C-alpha cells in the first residue's frame, strides 16, 4: 500500500511539473502600448495630422464627418479602406465599392473607430496593436504592429 501511495505521489509530481513546463513554453502576451503610442504620435507629427486620442489608445482623424446615418458598434456597414503600416507598406485594401461587415466582427480598433463617422464620412484610424491583432502574428501581420487605415464609410446597412 505504501508503495502504491509513493508511486501515485511521484506520478502526480511528474505530471504537475510537466504541465508547468508546457505552460511556460506557451508564447506570452507582450504589451506594446508605449512603443505603439510613440510610433503613432511620431507618424501624426511627421504627416501633420490633427488626430483625436480615445481612452482606449485609438487615434482617429476625421477628414469628412459625413452627413448620413451614424453606425453603432454593432451596425453592419460598407466601408472602403486601405490598410498600411507607419512605413507606408500596404497590407490590405478594399475595392472602391468597399466591403460589408458587422462592426462586432472586426478588430476592436474598427469597432470603436468607424462609429466616429456618419455615412459619406472619411478619415484615418491609427490602431495600436492591442486594438488590432495583439502581440502575436496573424494573417501575415507581425505581432505588435500599429495598423493605419484610410477609411470611407459608404453606408450603414
Kind and range of the H or E run holding 156: strand 147-156
Q: Which grid coordinates are listed for 64?
A: 469628412
Query: Is the per-residue pLDDT at 10 higher than 60?
Result: no
pLDDT per position as a tens digit, 133-155: 999 999 899 999 999 999 999 99
pTM here is 0.83
Query: Is the per-residue pLDDT at 17 higher than 50?
Result: no
pLDDT per position as a tens digit, 110-132: 999 999 999 999 999 999 999 99
Beta bridge partners of 6: none
Task: Give Rg (Cα) of the chain.
Answer: 22
User: For 63-71, what is the mean pLDDT?
Assistant: 97
User: What local confidence, expressed as pLDDT, does residue 24 receive?
Assistant: 53
SS (H, E, C) the chain: CHHHHHHHHHHHHHHHHHHHHHHHCCCCCCCCHHHHHHHHHHHHHHCCCCCEECCCCCEEEEEECCCCCCCCCCCEEEEEEEEECCCCCEEEECCCCCEEEEHHHCCHHHHHHHHHCCCCCEEEEEECHHHCCCCCCECCECCCCCEEEEEEEEEEC
Give the Cβ contact number of residue 14 at 10 Å: 10
CA geometry: angle 48, 154, 58, nearest 5 deg: 40
Query: Is the per-residue pLDDT at 4 higher than 50?
Result: no
Query: Is the per-residue pLDDT at 21 higher than 50?
Result: no
Amino acid at each position: 500500500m505504501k508503495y502504491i501511495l509513493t508511486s501515485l505521489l511521484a506520478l502526480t509530481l511528474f505530471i504537475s511539473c510537466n504541465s508547468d513546463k508546457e505552460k511556460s513554453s506557451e508564447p506570452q502576451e507582450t504589451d506594446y502600448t508605449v512603443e505603439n503610442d510613440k510610433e503613432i504620435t511620431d507618424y501624426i507629427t511627421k504627416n501633420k495630422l490633427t488626430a483625436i486620442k480615445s481612452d482606449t489608445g485609438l487615434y482617429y482623424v476625421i477628414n469628412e464627418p459625413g452627413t448620413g446615418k451614424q453606425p453603432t458598434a454593432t451596425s453592419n456597414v460598407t466601408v472602403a479602406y486601405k490598410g498600411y503600416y507607419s512605413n507606408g507598406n500596404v497590407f490590405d485594401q478594399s475595392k472602391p465599392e468597399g466591403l460589408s461587415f458587422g462592426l462586432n466582427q472586426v478588430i476592436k480598433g474598427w469597432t470603436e473607430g468607424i462609429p466616429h463617422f456618419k455615412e459619406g464620412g472619411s478619415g484615418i484610424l491609427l490602431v495600436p496593436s492591442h486594438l488590432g491583432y495583439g502581440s502575436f502574428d496573424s494573417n501575415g501581420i507581425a505581432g505588435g504592429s500599429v495598423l493605419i487605415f484610410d477609411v470611407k464609410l459608404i453606408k450603414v446597412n
